[in-house]
Amino acid sequence: MDELDELGNPSVSNSILENLNDSQKEAVSAPLSNMLVIAGAGTGKTRVLVSRIAYLIKHYMIEPRNILAVTFTNKAAGEMRERIGLFVGEFLQRQLWASTFHSICLRLLRAYAKQAGLEPNFTVLDTDSQTTLTKRIMKELNIDVKEFKPSEAVSKICKLKEDGLRADDYIKRGRTFGESQYENMCKIYSAYEKICNDENSVDFSELLLRTVELLESNDEIRALQHRRFKEILVDEFQDTNSIQYKFLRLMAGKNSHVMVVGDDDQSIYGWRGADYTNMHKFLKDFDDVHEILLALNYRSSQKILDMANTLIAENSDRLMEKVLKGNIGQGDDVSILNCSNNNCEASAVVQLIAKLHEAGEKYKDMAILYRNNYLSLGFEQSLSMKHIPFVIYGGQRFFERAEILDTLAYLRLLINENDDTAALRIINVPSRKLGPKVVADLRAIGRERNCSMLQAIRLLEAYSKQEGADKALVSLYKKVSPFYNLILQMKEKKENAPLHELVDYVINASGLQEMYALKDAKEGKTGEENSRVSNLGVLVSNVKEFEASMNAQVAKEATAEEAKDINADNSEGSASDGEITSTALEDPLLTYLSNITLVSTSELDEDGSSSTECDAVNMMTIHSSKGLEFKHVFLVGFENTILPSQRSVDIGSDKSISEERRLAYVGITRAKEDLYISYAQNRSMFGNIVTTGASQFLRQIVRSYNEIKKEDRPFKIIPIASQRY
């Protein structure tokens, strides 16, 4: 019989446990303690996390504001909040902190900006701004951008920050083996760090590093977080890097409980700093950790799971051996397509897609997954020839388009006049006949007076009114004053206009609307959905939606009970020291700019932002497919030099091969009903015909079933000797 509450109704906590399997129930209803939940692919980890949070609130009576839930994407955080709201109600859900690592750190830095060495109106640099800034630095340092790409320098800076290294730390560490650009990087990183400090800006990696430094150095702020967060839950823990793990340890107090959920078998981001051994460290660094294994798969047929289990069993560095068991039946055999060449492979895959569609299957339920982007071309061409619609994940994102970046640069200047990176982007966009010399002279004044470009114009304005003023400087002011006055007009508009009206005003007053309309007309894109002008309109609509959401949030927060909660927090720490503020007190433009930077940066590999609701075949790298699932999956290019990559083979370490094997495992476990694995004996690569053959991973799987009758194997091998299938 169900447990009853004092009114004789089935208890809420008991209802939370309904429809959970035994392992899931164990994780959700466990006593308050540190927990490591090893959740295999498709085992319902998100459901477990959401149910655990609801159970903490309803059964253990933990205040939602005392719970911190950390995810890796804004999309995942939003879904988590929505699902929790179904259990506990919208009011309680709103008090919960459920965000990405970077969003949480941004929130803390806004609250404690002064203590962190920032002004509260600091701006967050997107990837494009980082690259632009780095190009500028390299030009000034006379570093050849052809010899050392700015994007590589940006990646290096981000990696150093994720390792907790400032420029001085990096210089002191010295050159490591194989680091050919060490001297240049020292110069670039030092200059980069200084400019960011001068411009009151932070990049994505800086959010975490600066927050960690703040928590390490300020005992009072750290203690406040310990009192605030009693329960901390982390999703996709295998993807955390060293600085994220350090942040977690700093946020967890002696009386806190931490629950981490992850799967070391799905750790595929080692190349960007993710360290699955954090799961091992967690067992050592936290007391009395309760370990729970989730191995019942709700996604894939058993034959697909058998392939995955056989593959991953070869990895010797697994935290816990697990064998995924399915609950949807054996399913059809996995089809292994042995193709004579890559043209045969593309033709065979597309023919199968066409047959599935003719049988009533939707294109959007199908996915072509590949190790590297260059592999997509042949499939794109074959799909186009068959008039089969497809969408490629990882294309240019909305907030990476030039017209959008130009608009955002204007908006950033309205928040932070120290942002020279933004000023340099749009001081002559649209053209104001301000050549390189004008800009260089203006920047020279800024460097001489230790101020930004906008501040330098303000100094020129005052100077030009003096008798006997230098004619060259007066002339310089006349040239740049229209731009300066434009920014002032926009700032004035910002004070009394709704956010979406401000953005619309900026687009038109700046001349961007007219400039991009002319470009659209020249390219014959006038009126098209993807035209530049259309994108500017979409931006205004996006701002309007954000504005509505923010206004709704402000209205919800304006309750006596929540005000009481805020006051309670303030009693533990001084508001003047940077206490967390409510939405109502935040600058809408500043909040919007921060939010879109968080969305458009860092989630580039796993968020599938190019997805569409139209009926089209999905094409993406295996890395991009993480967290997704499809009814029919075509895992292509499963061959030597590709999966595993040639680089990992050349390195030859168990570590590098193990991650490649995990990548293959992730690809296999995206499939629900049908899995097709294809490889080419010969492949045209970069103008050369290369003999490749089946991946060592595929050969390993086949060998493991050599003693089993063909009819009992979970796969069938189909030879394809011509382009036609």
Enzyme catalytic residues: 45-46, 235-236, 266, 670
Is the separation of the CB atoms in 325 and 666 below 8 Å?
no
Handedness of CA 308, 313, 314, 318 (dihedral sign): positive
Rounded Cα–Cα distance for residues 569 and 229 (Å): 11
Q: Which long-range contacts (CB under 8 A, 24 or more apart) does 381-385 make?
A: 381/346, 382/346, 382/347, 382/349, 382/350, 383/350, 383/353, 383/617, 385/350
Rounded Cα–Cα distance for residues 134 and 155 (Å): 11
Is the separation of the CB atoms in 383 and 390 below 8 Å?
yes
Distance of CA 285 to the CA centre of its chain: 27
Helix or strand holding residue 686 (H, E):
none
Rounded Cα–Cα distance for residues 143 and 136 (Å): 10
Rounded Cα–Cα distance for residues 173 and 604 (Å): 30
DSSP string, 230-279: SEEEESSGGG--HHHHHHHHHH--TT-EEEEEE-GGG---GGGT--TTHH
Residue bearing tokens 């996604």: 299
- Beta-sheet pairing, 671-685 with 296-297: unpaired
Q: What is the largest CA-CA distance in the chain?
A: 99
What are the CA-CA distances from residue 697 to residues 179, 634, 687, 713 (Å)?
Answer: 32, 16, 26, 16
Q: Which long-range contacts (CB under 8 A, 24 or more apart) does 31-34 make?
A: 31/290, 32/60, 32/231, 32/257, 33/257, 33/288, 33/289, 33/290, 34/257, 34/258, 34/259, 34/286, 34/287, 34/288, 34/289, 34/290
Contacts of 42 (CB under 8 A, 6+ apart): 297, 298, 299, 300, 324, 629, 669
Contacts of 220 (CB under 8 A, 6+ apart): 573, 577
